[in-house]
Amino acid sequence: MLKGKRIILGVSGGIAAYKAIELLRLLTKAGAEVHVIMTRAAQEFVTPLTFQTLSGNPVHTELFNLIAEREIGHISLADRADLFIIAPATANVIGKIAGGIADDMLTTTVMATKAPVLIAPAMNVNMFTNPIYRENEEKLRRLDYRFVPPVSGSLACGWEGEGKLAPPETIFEEAVAALSPKDLAGRTIMVTAGPTREEIDPVRYISNHSSGKMGYALARSAARRGARVILVSGPTSLSPPSGVELLHVTSACEMRDVVMARAVECHAIIKSAAVADYRPVDRNADKIKKNSERASVELIRNPDILGGLGRMDKRPYLVGFAAETAMVSEYAAKKLSEKNLDMIVANDDSQPDAGFNVDTNRALLIFRDGRSEACSLMSKDDLAGRILDHIAAELASR
Ligand code: PMT
């Protein structure tokens, strides 16, 4: 996801410095090349060796280092960066940057960079609400520095309140968003995700193994690329991606109602949800008693939501999914034409590493004009990126 991206991670001196280790791990795991700069105070909390070992690169601590300065270390670092993150950023460091003071490796490199700068503050609540700090933050925001606000909680200093470093996952998410192209800005994209549940009685239901991972990856990726995202989700255990409008539904009929009500707002709709094809004709008001050896539930077809979207007069760009176990491309192509879609993503559910409830997928993208594109085994995040590349290109050409 961050392959080929060069990120500077500036760590300043606060108790939250240890959380920068987790952030570094997330960044390197996503493929980024990370160069760490530590202030003198930061080294009181965590050793440079920890960051050096995990980043695989020397940690910069001194402005005047004879080896690095042969190529003027802070300037070449600053020039080559795609993104500069400061986490945790103390009131002192933020104050220095706002005041134009560059008296150590971190503040000098920030001053010299043209890369976007993402600042994650962490400090005592009274420092955070101090008007001097507020003025510094506002000044930097006006100058296009981005902030990942701290969260509320009990602070290391004993106080309760705002000032706790944002979770590393949140800072990571903001970093990915800062580095993503904004080719879906101004577009509204609806994604459906997860299973639907069709109740038999108050404690039992019919459903399937969809975890929502594919749909949530699509929603996350579209939001990072600047889209306004409406995520219509069946029951899942996933945390919602940041910056999306999340609408919870349970049954296929509820999903149909929400999707059809919001469809007119959308430039594109991606239906990755695994909608139950049938629901019980009647939902028992009470728990059904096990009085006999055999029992049966009469089922009735659920509405075909995607089919309904395909029949709209002025329909948005429509992407369906097909979960197949045999004759994958033939069945998927049939669904594409029957439901009047622009693209269908066929995943082969006969494979354990693709389809339901795994982090990876293997898919064939089939387009309305007969073209197709095979996507070999990849993460659901990467597949989401490939699908959105096509949607962004198509919407741009309209
Ligand atoms: O959630 P995960 O664990 O990450 O798994 C992802 C997935 C396997 C669920 C996903 O990749 C996928 O294949 N989703 C579609 C599954 C499915 O229901 O396929 P289908 O062939 O039954 O339906 C075809 C299309 O019609 C789908 O876009 C579906 O959303 C839509 N449909 C189906 C039935 C119905 N009543 N209404 C619909 O809109």
pLDDT digits (tens, 9 = 90+) for 230-239: 999 999 999 9
| Cα of 268 from ligand 1 centre, angstroms | 16
**What tokens appear for 383 in the block?**
């597949």
Quick one: the chain helix, strand, coil %, rounded to 5?
35, 25, 40
Residue 76, Cα to own-chain centre: how many angstroms? 31
Give the Cα separation of 227 and 183 in Å (integer). 8
| Cα of 227 from ligand 1 centre, angstroms | 22
Give the Cα separation of 22 and 395 in Å (integer). 37
Classify strands 278-280 and 299-301 as parallel, antiparallel or unpaired: antiparallel
Q: Which residues does 210 contact at the CB level (< 8 Å), separation at least 6?
A: 193, 194, 195, 234, 236, 273, 274, 356, 357
Same CATH topology for 6-179 and 188-397: the answer is: yes
Catalytic residues: 157
Mean pLDDT of 94-112: 96
The CATH homologous superfamily to which domain 188-397 belongs is CoaB-like (3.40.50.10300)
The CB of 343 under 6 Å from ligand 1? The reply is no
Average predicted confidence (pLDDT) for the chain: 95
The CB of 212 under 6 Å from ligand 1? The reply is yes
Q: In this predicted model, what pLDDT tens digit does every residue of 313-369 receive, in sequence order?
A: 999 999 999 998 899 999 999 999 999 999 999 998 888 999 999 999 999 999 999
Nearest residue to 233 via CA among 246, 223, 220: 246
Pocket test for ligand 1, best of 210, 238, 328, 350 (most atoms within 8 A of CB): 210
The CB of 274 under 6 Å from ligand 1? The reply is yes
Residue 186 Ramachandran class (φ > 0 left, ψ -120 to 50 alpha, else beta): left
- The answer, yes or no, to whether residue 25 has pLDDT greater than 70, is yes
At residue 273 the predicted structure's pLDDT band, cuts being 50, 70 and 90, is very high
Q: In this predicted model, what pLDDT tens digit does every residue of 200-221 receive, in sequence order?
A: 999 999 999 999 999 999 999 9
| Cα of 29 from ligand 1 centre, angstroms | 30
What does 102-162 look like in DSSP terms, one character per residue? Answer: --SHHHHHHHH--S-EEEEE---HHHHH-HHHHHHHHHHHHTT-EE---EEEE-TTS-EEE
Domain ranges of the chain: 6-179, 188-397
The CATH homologous superfamily to which domain 6-179 belongs is Flavin prenyltransferase-like (3.40.50.1950)
pLDDT of residue 71: 59
pLDDT of residue 160: 84
| Cα of 210 from ligand 1 centre, angstroms | 9
pLDDT of residue 7: 98
**Which residue's CA is the nearest one to ligand 1's atom 35?**
304
Q: In this predicted model, what pLDDT tens digit does every residue of 36-82 receive, in sequence order?
A: 999 999 999 999 999 999 999 999 998 876 555 555 566 788 899 99
Pocket test for ligand 1, best of 191, 206, 256, 306 (most atoms within 8 A of CB): 306
The CB of 195 under 6 Å from ligand 1? The reply is no
